[in-house]
């Protein structure tokens, strides 16, 4: 006999009876109804079933066994273990129902964050057995953000209801949803059985399902389009940052710099060093490492660029083949140097906390904060380069030397010094591109190799020496990649874009924007 432990029954014994039976559907239904009680005893029983602590007594009672004591959830009494008890059989299907019930119980939590996480998780998968608990949570929910999500989840659960009126109401309620997980269920209602009869017997439900499915497909198509536009601009911004320095060294100076990718890599490793220094010496301000990395990466890569120009490239002006071979050799030296210092394995550069996560729009489209930050950063860098080239004394000298070197030298401009500063500027901008790349993935010695070809394509397509053309070409290639990849795949999309650029250059060798005046010569 169990000792008295409560004044009244905690869970109706009629709800517990199916758990000890052999009918799998009845057991799953019982789990759902027990979960809908949303009581401490219901949660305790479900956890016991999940952990293997629930037993069946010879008289058919369900017991929770803990430390040689048996608790009867039907009477609220605790006592010694009776003889002949046997563990409840929990198969995978029943275990899934228990997990669903425990997940749905979080909808009644006093913590708003926990309730929001629970309803978000239920949007991915919800069953009819969870409907009673969802209805109970909906009746209590007052949060303006969570309540509409709960209503959609409740409607999703009722899609499996045996009542045709409930199914139709649920289908109509889901017409404003953007949840792609609903498509298979709605499509199944429109399919036919093997004998040719409709899978959904009620014609009104089928008509409503067709309308809701069309509305969801339309909304998903718009969301996908907007997502492709955003991520195309994001990729275009990355290409712009990687190609902007090359637009100066190749576009303005005519130097085929095959080590441009390694300058990106050096900028990324400089960011890694800044992160390491902040973690060691300023752990409380570690999120500020990125602010320090920007000028550091610019100065380090600019210094590397100046050293390259002073020691090698200055002797090779007007000799493109020799320049190409020399800078390719420099790229190999830089990669091997980085492998020697940092190792061949990739290193991790973590996003600052303010760049982690994203903003959700249109129901299920997530715009990552790091991508948004890179788009804004690219705009700032482009504006800075334009101001330098068009509104400063250095920019005036750069344009003068590039348009007519002899005349610039005749009026007192130190062309050798301007060459050095111009190449340093282009290299420094490549370092800023490396900072951006470090926020999108791991940093390794081969980081720049994946962007050197794309950078040249952007510069050539936009027009040599044309800043506006570089911007348009970068964004255009980014968008083309994102819209072609879902259709043709990543590899075929790259091939298609390359073929387009080859044909375009054949028809218009000067690119999108042709240079004017003496610079065109």
Q: Quick: pLDDT tens for 379-422.
A: 999 999 899 888 888 888 888 887 777 888 888 888 888 888 98
Cα-Cα end-to-end distance for the chain? 104
Compute the distance between CA of residue 16 and CA of residue 74 in angstroms, rounded to an integer.
8
Report pTM: 0.71
Mean pLDDT on 60-87: 83
Average pLDDT value for residue range 370-386 = 91
The residues pairing with 66 across neighbouring beta strands, listed in sequence order, are: 69
Please give the average per-residue pLDDT across 239-262, as a whole number.
Answer: 83
What average pLDDT does the segment 19-38 reach? 81
- Kindly tell me if the per-residue pLDDT of 515 is higher than 80: no
Helix, strand or coil, per DSSP, at residue 183: helix
Per-residue pLDDT of 168-200, as tens digits, reads 888 888 887 777 777 887 888 888 887 778 888
What is residue 271's predicted lDDT score, i.e. its pLDDT? 94
pLDDT recorded at residue 2? 38
Give the mean pLDDT of 423-435: 91
pLDDT score, position 308: 92
Q: Rounded CA gap, 371 and 355, in Å?
A: 9
For 179, the enclosing helix (H) or strand (E) is none
Alpha-carbon distance values, 3 to 21, 64, 72, 206 (Å): 26, 14, 10, 56
Q: Which two tokens stand for residue 480?
A: 């083309």
pLDDT over 60 (residue 208):
yes
Q: Given a cut of 90, is residue 300 above it in pLDDT? A: yes
DSSP states of 478-498 as a string? HHHHHHHHHHH-HHHHHHHHH
- How is residue 226 written in tokens? 């907007």
Burial class of residue 3, CB neighbours in 10 A (0-12, 13-18, 19+): exposed
Q: Are strands 86-87 and 77-80 parallel, antiparallel or unpaired?
A: unpaired
Mean model confidence pLDDT for the chain:
83
pLDDT at 1: 36
- Using CB atoms within 10 A of its CB, is residue 345 exposed (0-12), middle (13-18) or buried (19+)? exposed
* Segment among 61-70, 228-237, 438-447, 505-514 with least mean pLDDT: 505-514
Element (H, E) at 65: strand 62-66
Digit-coded pLDDT (tens) for 326-358? 999 999 999 999 999 988 888 888 888 888 888
Express each pLDDT in 84-102 by its tens digit: 788 888 888 888 888 877 8
CA distances from 468 to 244, 256, 431 (A): 11, 20, 21
Residues whose CB is less than 8 angstroms from the CB of residue 330 and which lie 6 or more positions away in sequence, other chains included: 258, 259, 262, 308, 312
Query: 476: closest CA among 243, 244, 233, 260?
Result: 233
Contact 434, 263 (CB under 8 A): yes
Closest CA to 344 of 440, 443, 419: 443
DSSP designation for 21: S
Contacts of 401 (CB under 8 A, 6+ apart): 408, 413, 415, 418, 419, 422
Local structure of 454: helix, strand or coil: helix
Domain ranges for the chain:
13-93, 110-201, 241-450
Residue 8 reports pLDDT greater than 60 = no
The per-residue b/e assignment along 427-454, b for 16 or more CB within 10 angstroms, e otherwise, is bbbbbbbbbbbbbbeebbbebbeebbeb
98: tokens are 């228990």
- Joined together, the tokens standing for residue 219 give 């909304």
- The token pair that represents 477 in the structure block: 């290639």
pLDDT tens digits, 458-493: 888 887 667 788 888 889 888 888 888 878 877 888
Res. 296: pLDDT tops 90:
yes
């Amino acid at each position: 006999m169990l000792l008295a432990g409560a004044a009244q029954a905690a869970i109706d014994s009629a709800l517990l009876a199916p758990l000890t039976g052999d009918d799998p559907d009845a057991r799953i239904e019982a789990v759902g109804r027990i979960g809908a009680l949303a009581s401490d005893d219901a949660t305790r029983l479900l956890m016991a079933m999940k952990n293997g602590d629930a037993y069946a007594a010879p008289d058919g009672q369900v017991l929770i066994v803990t430390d040689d004591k048996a608790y009867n959830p039907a009477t609220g009494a605790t006592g010694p273990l009776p003889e002949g008890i046997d563990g409840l059989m929990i198969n995978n299907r029943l275990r899934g129902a228990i997990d669903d019930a425990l997940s749905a119980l979080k909808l009644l939590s006093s913590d708003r964050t926990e309730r929001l996480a629970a309803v978000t998780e239920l949007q991915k998968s919800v069953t009819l057995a969870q409907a009673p608990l969802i209805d109970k949570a909906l009746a209590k929910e007052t949060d303006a953000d969570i309540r509409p999500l709960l209503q959609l989840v409740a409607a999703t659960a009722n899609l499996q209801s045996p009542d045709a009126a409930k199914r139709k109401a649920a289908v109509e309620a889901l017409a404003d949803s953007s949840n792609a997980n609903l498509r298979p269920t709605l499509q199944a209602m429109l399919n036919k059985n093997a004998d040719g009869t409709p899978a959904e017997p009620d014609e009104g439900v089928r008509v409503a399902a067709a309308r809701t499915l069309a509305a969801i497909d339309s909304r998903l198509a718009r969301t996908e389009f907007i997502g492709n536009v955003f991520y195309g601009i994001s990729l275009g911004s990355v290409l712009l940052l990687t190609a902007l320095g090359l637009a100066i060294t190749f576009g303005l100076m005519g130097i085929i710099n095959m080590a441009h990718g390694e300058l990106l890599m050096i900028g990324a490793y400089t960011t890694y060093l800044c992160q390491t220094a902040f973690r060691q010496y300023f752990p409380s301000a570690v999120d500020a490492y990125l602010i320090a990395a920007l000028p550091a990466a610019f100065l380090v890569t600019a210094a590397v660029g100046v050293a390259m120009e002073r020691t090698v490239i200055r002797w090779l002006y007007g000799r493109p083949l020799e320049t190409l071979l020399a800078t390719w050799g420099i790229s190999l030296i830089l990669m091997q140097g980085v492998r020697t210092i940092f190792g061949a394995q990739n290193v991790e550069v973590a996003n600052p906390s303010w760049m982690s996560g994203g903003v959700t729009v249109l129901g299920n489209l997530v715009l990552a904060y790091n991508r948004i930050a890179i788009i804004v950063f690219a705009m700032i860098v482009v504006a800075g380069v334009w101001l330098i080239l068009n509104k400063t004394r250095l920019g005036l000298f750069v344009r003068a030397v590039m348009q007519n070197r002899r005349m610039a030298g005749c009026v007192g401009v130190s062309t050798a010094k301007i060459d050095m500063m111009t190449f340093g500027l282009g290299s420094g901008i490549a370092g800023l591109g490396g900072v951006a790349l470090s926020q999108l993935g791991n940093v390794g010695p081969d980081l720049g190799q994946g962007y050197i070809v794309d950078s040249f394509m952007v510069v050539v397509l936009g027009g040599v020496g044309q800043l506006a053309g570089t911007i348009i070409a970068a964004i255009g290639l980014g968008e083309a990649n994102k819209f072609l990849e879902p259709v043709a795949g990543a590899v075929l999309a790259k091939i298609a874009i390359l073929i387009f650029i080859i044909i375009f250059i054949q028809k218009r060798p000067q690119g999108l924007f042709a240079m004017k005046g003496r610079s065109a010569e």
